[in-house]
A and B are shown apart, each in its own frame.
Chain A
Amino acid sequence: MAVLPSLADIESPRLRHAIFWTGAAFCAAGAAVVYHWNPEGAGFFPACPLRTYTGYYCPGCGATRALHQLLHGHIGAALGYNPLFVLSVPFVAYWIISEVFLLLGGRALPRIPAPDKLMWLVLAIVITFGVARNIPYYPLTLLAPH
């Protein structure tokens, strides 16, 4: 049964810990910056080239702004910026928690199953979402960042 990748796949404990702590430091710094500054209007978050030059939204458009709202507990505002990102948060959170348990707690939580068909479905959902949020008709405009 295929499962999501994990630091448990890495044989060397030293390498595993090095990757874990580097990633943890990077995520903590990123979360602190995104918590403190709203990417909407902060001025120093580089704008997406796709949005700037073509006007299209990619599937991840609004994810940083949604993360800012989520960190402040505003789930409704976060859903408005990027509903797919908000839906993925529980899975990513479980994955992060299980990595922390593995490295710090010394015991592993059950890994998230990832059979091939499910992975193809995820890819199809992401691509469909990316196309749908660019269609300018009413129900679909709700998927665009607003």
Chain B
Amino acid sequence: MFCPNCGANNADTATVCIQCNQPIPQFSSPPEPPPPMPPAPVPAAPVTPSAPPPTIASVPNYLVHSIIQTVVSLMCCGLTCGVGLIPLVLAIIALIFSAQVNSKLGANDVAGAQSASKTAKLFNWIALGVLVGVVVVYGLLVFFGAISNYWEHRF
């Protein structure tokens, strides 16, 4: 399995990454690595694979995903405008819920944060699906345009 922190390829049974020494969660993992460890290289820090209690690190906010999708939707306006800005709207909804995760954790509302996290994840997946669909349709349009252009100039 790959380390969620640095991406190094580890043995499936590994609990600590061979490259960055970060703990590797054993079950399907959120993109955020769980426990905050001191950034200095600590020699042989003991790592327990037990699930930590709900803290800021254990409720993923998917903010990175939400903002990347918002930025891509903005930058690919030629694609997103063509379908009524749907991917942009979905990405912004995901971004709003992502931002709520941290504010609700700050207010000690763990259940609310987990709910916002789930909603952010859901809208991120829908936005990604729509965006990929639009990019594929756009790509096919350009590709067939290119092919017909090629044949026109050939004969």
Q: Which residues of A contact B (CB under 8 A)?
A: 1-6, 8-9, 11, 26, 29-30, 33, 36-37, 42-51, 58-61, 63, 85, 98, 102, 106-111, 114, 116, 119-120, 122-123, 126-127, 130
Contacts and interface: CB of A to CB of B under 8 A. Distances in A.
Nearest to B33: A1
Given A9-B2, A49-B81, 20 more contacts: A3-B31, A5-B31, A5-B68, A33-B142, A33-B143, A48-B77, A49-B78, A51-B78, A58-B74, A58-B77, A59-B77, A60-B76, A61-B77, A63-B75, A98-B7, A108-B8, A110-B6, A119-B64, A120-B67, A122-B71
Interface string B1-45: 111111111000000000100000000100111000000000000
A45 B7 contact: no
A4 B75 CA distance: 18
B81 A108 contact: no
Complex A-B, nearest 5 residue pairs according to Cβ-Cβ distance, in ascending order: A44-B145, A58-B77, A60-B75, A108-B7, A48-B78
Contacts of A98: 7
Contact of B77 (A45, A60, A109): A60
A1 B97 CA distance: 20
B3 A8 contact: yes
Interface string B116-152: 0000000000000000000010110111011011000
